[in-house]
């Protein structure tokens, strides 16, 4: 499958929203270039605390507005979610001058955005 070039910010947010525990609930809010934050925030109302935290971290990375506390990352996430956040931070750190080349895996995980 041919790779997809995205900004590091987009790659990091998609990576978080494609987490196995939440991807079925978040995929309809993920677009090719942007995210439906109103929809994602509404969806968190019926998620567990850890699931909602992943969405809030993604929101903070994308919008640069305080949504989650660092203390929550280390105290509230299970090991797999914690590792996913670290991976997302590494993707994000690549910086705007260095777009990340991603395999289409995130697209397969998330599926197509619903109309």
Domain count, the chain: 1
Which residue segment(s) compose the domain that 79 sits in? 4-110
Residue 80 lies in a domain: yes
> Does 92 fall in a domain?
yes
Rounded Cα–Cα distance for residues 80 and 31 (Å): 25
Closest CA to 16 of 58, 74, 66: 58
Model's pTM, two decimal places? Answer: 0.79
Residue 87 lies in a domain: yes
Is residue 115, in this structure, part of any structural domain at all?
Answer: no
CA distance 46 to 26: 12
Instruction: Give the Cα separation of 58 and 85 in Å (integer).
Output: 9
CA distance 64 to 49: 21
Per-residue pLDDT of the chain (115 residues; tens, 9 = 90+): 344 557 899 999 999 999 999 999 999 999 988 999 999 999 999 999 999 999 999 999 999 999 999 999 999 999 999 999 999 999 998 865 554 444 343 443 455 444 4
């Amino acid at each position: 499958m041919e790779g997809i070039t995205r900004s590091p910010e987009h790659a990091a947010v998609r990576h978080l929203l494609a987490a196995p525990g939440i991807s079925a609930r978040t995929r309809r809010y993920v677009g090719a270039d942007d995210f439906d934050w109103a929809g994602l925030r509404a969806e968190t109302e019926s998620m567990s605390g850890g699931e909602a935290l992943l969405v809030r971290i993604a929101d903070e990375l994308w919008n640069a507005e305080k949504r989650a506390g660092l203390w929550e990352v280390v105290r509230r996430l299970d090991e797999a979610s914690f590792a996913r956040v670290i991976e997302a931070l590494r993707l994000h750190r690549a910086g705007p001058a260095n777009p990340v080349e991603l395999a289409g895996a995130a697209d397969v995980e998330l599926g197509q955005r619903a109309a």
